[in-house]
A and B are shown apart, each in its own frame.
Chain A
Amino acid sequence: MSRIIKAGLLGAGWSANNIVKAVKNIKNLEIIGVYNHDAEKASKFARTHDIKIHSDNPEVLFNNEDIDMIIVSLPHFLHYPMTMKALEKNKHVLVEKPIAISAKNAEKMVETAKKKKLLLGTCFQNRFNDATINAKNLIEKGDLGKILQANISVLLKRDAPYFNDNSWRGTWSKEGGSALINQSIHFIDLMLYLLDTRPKKVAGFQDHLIHDIETEDNATAAFVLENDMIGTIQASISVKSQIGSTLIIHGSEKTMKVTQTAIEIHAPNEKTIKINFLEKMDIDLKSMKVLALERLLRNFSDAIINQGTPKATGDDGLAALKFVLKIYESTIKNKTR
């Protein structure tokens, strides 16, 4: 008989909603409890999604013997304390990105999980996009030649209500940053994952040019990775036309553009190959995003069952976090804003 992993979900927001949708298609994973600081929201969420337990006290989930894993989908500053409490109660933890807002805390999370032989995963679901899977194959086959440079471009739109309706956003103490730590971290992780490396040196610039927030709505940085590759990142959450996120990987032989939904391969004297996975799979963007999340959740619960390692670990969360923190540190140190 195959084992069913029982999960407790912390949070009842937009992203928790997606998680529940994704879990519905996974046979060996079930969400049996939900926590929200607002009891009414927790109860409403539980009712909507047919979840047995709901509470405004997270301890109810931590102390529940039936629960194997906790999914943390809360404002960034709560990732660390909630993850630590869950680990202390011997729960495996899957935490939304960013893993935490300080490297020290993220390190503690990783160490504690390791010490207690529990799984800690970071919600980098873009690793599970079809575009990513295909890109990874091509890179591993050596199709691009020697990888020389990567450029990340995350140009999105967030309006004033996005910040005003959630007071934790736009603050250093609770969101820990914005355009980089919240939006761009996905594609930073995607780059580190596809190229199988870690950041070596990163520095850059950030500022709030449009939104009335403490944190950054625009940032740029240059970096070198452990594999000696160099690159740039440009990030913005104040572009009305919502251009999207792109990772360009320049190899000595070919260049590849990767988005959430497509890859493009450019080679000298050859026609550009474009594969749009939404068309290929005949699904819409929303369903594709839920599918990626479903794959991530399945991968994590399988890892619990098989005592394996999830595809997006706490270590991966820490690496991407360190990347963005270096940009903040260099901005402060060099007084560039």
Chain B
Amino acid sequence: MNDNTKDGKKLGVGMIGAGSSAKNIAETISVLDTLEFKGICNHDEAKAKIIAEKHDVPFTTSDYKELCNKDDIDFIVVSLPHGLHHEVVMHALKKNKHVLVEKPIATTIQDAREMINLAREKNLKLGVHFQCRFFDAVQEARKLLLAGKIGKVLQANVSVMWYRDQDYYKKSNWRGTWKLEGGGSLINQAIHTIDEMIYLVGDVKKLFGFWKHAIHDIEVDDLTAAAFVFENGVLGTLQTSTATKAAFPAKLTIFGSEGGLEISGNILTIHDASGNKETIDYAAKEGGQVGSEKDPKKFSLKAHSRLMNDFVEAIINDREPLVNGEEGLKSLKVVRAVYDSNGENIINL
């Protein structure tokens, strides 16, 4: 990034998509002085125009190919219904753009692999927008784990028990479908927490799980439960829901022989061996709640900025971003393993 400031050249950014997470990313882009926001594409161009106006973006279109043809754009942010990620990312890479894609990386492992391979072939950066890894709570947890604060790590649990009403699915033409959402509570709501778990604990090796649509009239899951073992021998469980009305904050729990850690949004609770606990609320410190079950749209953008900075530095210094395609694929593998297992088989990841 310093090199960049030296030649005074800013990276040009284009964004494809104009939904709620695209709006957050647009906020992030507009405040970073290393970036120049060059264009926004949305199939309904009017929505692109609203964001463009707010952030002084000179170009809008309804054709993503047109955006990818622009020479002044160095990288493209893709924030679309999950099932469109593959097609659009592949095209952007073909047009020699670095790509930062929203989570999940894609809806199938094969699609994700193709994206990763093409980026590698073309020596382009592919990043996945798992900003939660950049929360202070997660970064601090990582430090504590590496320092052996909770002893030998024994188990991890992901619990994302939320509620979405039928309107949430009805009003959307892509949610609740395999083709466009690629799953439900797991791939959409829980994947951030799953990604945090992988970042902190390691890669999942084998998994057994169940998914169902318990109360909603949808193709995909509104309820899941799974057990798994990590490559390093740690054991784990997860449970997700958009079907249970009594919602709880999304939570990652890691416990070891000498204590435990709980991460909920940007709040870290540390348990010691004697049963004492200490809670550090980074969200309150930053003045913004993160991923609250009541208002998932209310994000603090600090983690967004850190992720964006990391991606920009990766381009400038020609290194891998912290959450590259391979890293982004890991949580998708866990999600897909639950869908593929479905109470029949233990899946090897």
Contact B215 A250 (CB under 8 A): no
Contact of A222 with B227 at beta-carbon distance under 8 Å, contacts A209-B152, A254-B246 already known: yes
> Roughly how many angstroms separate A219 CA and B227 CA in the complex, as a whole number?
9
A148 interface contact, C-beta 8 A = yes
- Which residues of the other chain, B, contact A218 by a CB distance below 8 angstroms? 154-155, 235
Known: A149-B241, A239-B255, A251-B246. 9 other contacts (CB 8 A): A148-B223, A205-B227, A220-B155, A220-B227, A230-B225, A232-B239, A241-B260, A241-B273, A252-B215
- Which residues of the other chain, A, contact B258 by a CB distance below 8 angstroms? 240
Contact B275 A238 (CB under 8 A): no
Contact B237 A232 (CB under 8 A): yes
B55-63, B168-176, B203-211: which lies at the A interface? Answer: B203-211
A interface footprint on B236-275 (CB within 8 Å = 1, 0 otherwise): 1111010111111000000101111000000000011111
B311 interface contact, C-beta 8 A = no
Contact A224 B210 (CB under 8 A): yes
Contact B244 A241 (CB under 8 A): no
Set A146, A206, A221, A255: member contacting B246, Cβ < 8 A: A255
- Which residues of the other chain, B, contact A241 by a CB distance below 8 angstroms? 259-260, 271-275
A285 interface contact, C-beta 8 A = no
Least Cβ–Cβ distance between B243 and chain A, in angstroms: 6
Q: Which residues of A contact B (CB under 8 A)?
A: 145-146, 148-149, 151, 153, 155, 201, 203-207, 209-210, 218-224, 230-234, 236, 238-243, 250-255, 266-268, 330, 334, 336-337
- Which residues of the other chain, B, contact A336 by a CB distance below 8 angstroms? 206, 229, 346
> Roughly how many angstroms separate A240 CA and B274 CA in the complex, as a whole number?
7
Greatest chain B CB density within 10 A among A220, A253, A268, A337 is at A220
Contact B210 A230 (CB under 8 A): yes
Contact B154 A210 (CB under 8 A): yes
Least Cβ–Cβ distance between A221 and chain B, in angstroms: 5
B228 interface contact, C-beta 8 A = yes
Contact of A146 with B215 at beta-carbon distance under 8 Å, contacts A232-B225, A253-B245 already known: yes
- Which residues of the other chain, A, contact B159 by a CB distance below 8 angstroms? 151
Q: Which residues of B contact A (CB under 8 A)?
A: 151-152, 154-155, 157, 159, 161, 163, 206, 208-210, 212, 214-215, 223-229, 233, 235-239, 241, 243-248, 255, 257-260, 271-275, 343, 346
Q: Which residue of A lies closest to B276 (CB)?
A: A241
- Which residues of the other chain, B, contact A151 by a CB distance below 8 angstroms? 159, 225, 237, 239
- Which residues of the other chain, B, contact A240 by a CB distance below 8 angstroms? 151, 257-259, 273-274
Q: Which residue of A lies closest to B151 (CB)?
A: A240
Contact A203 B152 (CB under 8 A): no
Least Cβ–Cβ distance between A218 and chain B, in angstroms: 5
Q: Which residue of A lies closest to B273 (CB)?
A: A240
Set A155, A232, A233, A252: member contacting B243, Cβ < 8 A: A252
> Roughly how many angstroms separate A232 CA and B239 CA in the complex, as a whole number?
7
Please provide the 3 A-B residue pairs with the shortest distance between their CB atoms, ordered closest to farther.
Answer: A255-B246, A266-B246, A240-B273
Set B151, B239, B248, B255: member contacting A236, Cβ < 8 A: B255
> Roughly how many angstroms separate A187 CA and B183 CA in the complex, as a whole number?
32
Greatest chain A CB density within 10 A among B226, B246, B248, B271 is at B246
Q: Which residue of A lies closest to B348 (CB)?
A: A334
Q: Which residue of A lies closest to B258 (CB)?
A: A240
Q: Which residue of B lies closest to A228 (CB)?
A: B212
Can you name 20 A-B residue pairings with CB atoms under 8 Å?
A148-B241, A148-B244, A151-B237, A205-B228, A210-B154, A223-B225, A230-B210, A231-B225, A232-B239, A236-B154, A236-B255, A240-B151, A240-B257, A240-B259, A241-B272, A241-B274, A254-B246, A255-B161, A268-B163, A330-B208
Least Cβ–Cβ distance between B13 and chain A, in angstroms: 40
Least Cβ–Cβ distance between B250 and chain A, in angstroms: 15
Contact A148 B243 (CB under 8 A): yes
- Which residues of the other chain, B, contact A231 by a CB distance below 8 angstroms? 225, 239
- Which residues of the other chain, A, contact B223 by a CB distance below 8 angstroms? 148-149, 230
- Which residues of the other chain, B, contact A230 by a CB distance below 8 angstroms? 210, 212, 223-225
Contact B227 A203 (CB under 8 A): yes
> Roughly how many angstroms separate A146 CA and B271 CA in the complex, as a whole number?
34
Set B151, B245, B259: member contacting A252, Cβ < 8 A: B245
Contact of A205 with B157 at beta-carbon distance under 8 Å, contacts A219-B235, A239-B257 already known: no
> Roughly how many angstroms separate A199 CA and B235 CA in the complex, as a whole number?
22
Q: Which residue of B lies closest to A241 (CB)?
A: B275
Contact A268 B225 (CB under 8 A): no
- Which residues of the other chain, A, contact B244 by a CB distance below 8 angstroms? 148-149, 250-252, 255
Greatest chain A CB density within 10 A among B152, B209, B223, B244 is at B244
- Which residues of the other chain, A, contact B274 by a CB distance below 8 angstroms? 240-241
Contact A201 B343 (CB under 8 A): yes
Least Cβ–Cβ distance between A323 and chain B, in angstroms: 13
- Which residues of the other chain, B, contact A251 by a CB distance below 8 angstroms? 244, 246
Q: Which residue of B lies closest to A231 (CB)?
A: B225
> Roughly how many angstroms separate A330 CA and B206 CA in the complex, as a whole number?
12
> Roughly how many angstroms separate A255 CA and B159 CA in the complex, as a whole number?
14
Contact A222 B155 (CB under 8 A): no
> Roughly how many angstroms separate A315 CA and B14 CA in the complex, as a whole number?
65
- Which residues of the other chain, A, contact B235 by a CB distance below 8 angstroms? 205-207, 209, 218-220, 234
